Structure 1
Amino acid sequence: MTAITVGEHWIETCDGTLFAQDWLPPSVQGTPIILLHDSLGCVALWRDFPAQLAAATGHRVIAYDRLGFGRSAPHPSVLTRGFVEAQAQQEFAAVLHHLGVDDFIVFGHSVGGGMAIACAAHFAERCRGLITESAQAFVEDLTLHGIRAADVQFAAPGQLVRLTRYHGDKAEWVLRAWVDNWLSPAFADWSLNASLAKVHCPLLCLHGDQDEFGSVAHPRRFITLARGPSVMRLLTGCGHVPHREQPDVVLAEVQRFLG
């Protein structure tokens, strides 16, 4: 792999400190790609993918832990309806400002994909491309079934340790922020329809045909409602984490999209 330089950044916000990393190929080209993690994720759980993405594309790649996750500060409260859309105006905006990023490409996985749509909508004049991976456009029975099953699994003795490795003593908050929000009656009619109508940049939707947390109805909603040129790629034999399950396919699709 091309030699990649990795940097660490600590970003102060009014609610706490964010941790971010960036990956720089030897000869940086194009617009920075900003990664937004999933509901249980963090920078560390992207594993080798950011470096692979930087090497494959030549772009600077940036990822950060949202408040409450990974190496960032604890979240000051609980998440409520609207937390997906609010990411654009809060932590994402702080990352852009601190790292001196003007135009950007945003790449989000799962709920991070929903946040990526909100960022592309809020910063429509600055977003040059949007990539969603296994993202949810609305609350679907399949999504709720997967979350309930995961909640039962994490309740078994020793299972929460899997999250503690990455989130420390914030692990219980991370789990409840995911489960309790999605299963809340107040969240039942949530959707990204309003944000999608404000997206004008090119859009790539990646979705596994075996995704246990969402059907193909989600990427179809994205490409139907977004206003810019859009393409959907359904990945055969792939579940909810394409960048881990089929990294070569994901990298090739991103290269094609950027090219």
Structure 2
Amino acid sequence: MPETSPVNVEEAEWTIPVEDGRLFAKTWTPQAPGAERAAPVLLFHDSLGCVALWRGFPARLASATGRRVIAYDRLGFGRSDPHPGRVGSGFVAREAGHAVPALCERLRISDFVACGHSVGGGMAIETAARFPARCRALVTIAAQTFAEDRTLAGIRAARGEFQDPANLARLAKYHGDKARWVVDAWTETWLSPDFAQWTLEPALAAIRCPVLAIHGDRDEYGSEIHPRRIAAGRGTAHILPDTGHVPHREREDAVVGMIGRFLAEA
């Protein structure tokens, strides 16, 4: 349910060893009865994102849901170690098989809620499909399920914008000297011919938990076909009016409230 009064949230930072380096993670634990027993929310960031770019959302979500919230920087992003090379066309599914088990082991997570923004939503879907007995619920925010023309057009436009050193410098505030790699990992992977046939349909067919798919009606990186595909026969698609690609920032109160109500009933 939506939060009715502020709940103190305790923050902690973690280092997670994985095959190719170390991941940076952060947790927000509400100081409320039952918080340690409830399945925590595992956040997957978008193509240019990191823990810091979730801003105040994780703390708000922890307070509203009474659950621990966990966010981490993928390898090559934010405060995690540099990625050793190219991410490859299978990077969305690979995250579920490589990073998630390491996070669960280090943070002693059994069951969890998978929640992701944009391509992170795809990673949340792959995680829910890979761990059907452990994933208690799935939330996607502005996720894509295939390489739609609208998505690719938005990425081409962004690739041109990042030729401006000022735009790259703004991204470097969060990713340091990994910023150029971060941009290329997004644009060159999605625009590669190898990625053209990518789809989440097999993963969606394997999901067994309740689903909430949140999307903005003005999302420049994906039409409403995506949340409707994600939710079809599995849950609810909620389309936010006058909202673009970052609903949890543009309409934070609404998104926190929706997720809180969904998890209270899941």
* TM-score normalised by structure 2 residue count: 0.95
Give yes or no for the alignment of 1:256 onto 2:264.
no
Of 107, 124, 131, the match for 2:139: 131
AA aligned to 1:258 is L
Write out per-residue CA displacement over residues 122-171 of structure 1, whole angstroms, 9 at most, x where no aligned residue: 01110000000000000101001110111111111321001100000100
CA RMSD, aligned part only?
0.9
Distance 2:211 2:150 in 1: 24
Of 18, 35, 44, the match for 2:43: 35
Q: Which runs of 4+ in 1 moved over 6 A?
A: none
Match of residue 242 from structure 1: 247
Of 23, 27, 31, the match for 1:22: 27
Write out per-residue CA displacement over residues 89-120 of structure 1, whole angstroms, 9 at most, x where no aligned residue: 10111101110000000100000000000000
Of 153, 159, 175, the match for 1:145: 153
**Structure 1 residue 217, shift from structure 2 partner:** 0.7
**Following superposition of structure 1 onto structure 2, how do residues 98-247 of structure 1 map, counting pairs within 5 Å?**
98-224=106-232, 229-247=234-252
Match of residue 11 from structure 2: 6
Distance 1:156 1:71 in 2: 24
What fraction of aligned residue pairs are identical, expressed as a percent? 53
Question: Unaligned regions of 5+ residues in structure 1, if any?
Answer: none
AA aligned to 2:16 is I
Distance 2:16 2:48 in 1: 21
Distance 1:255 1:164 in 2: 33
Question: Unaligned regions of 5+ residues in structure 2, if any?
Answer: 1-5
**Structure 1 residue 62, shift from structure 2 partner:** 0.3
AA aligned to 1:157 is P
**Structure 1 residue 189, shift from structure 2 partner:** 1.3
Moved more, 20-29 or 196-205: 20-29
Match of 1:18, SS? strand
Distance 1:221 1:11 in 2: 33
Distance 1:162 1:78 in 2: 23
Write out per-residue CA displacement over residues 28-59 of structure 1, whole angstroms, 9 at most, x where no aligned residue: 15210010000000000000000000011110
* TM-score normalised by structure 1 residue count: 0.97
Q: Which has the higher contact order (CA 8 A, sep 6+)?
A: 2
**Structure 1 residue 2, shift from structure 2 partner:** 2.3
**Following superposition of structure 1 onto structure 2, how do residues 30-109 of structure 1 map, counting pairs within 5 Å?**
30-109=38-117
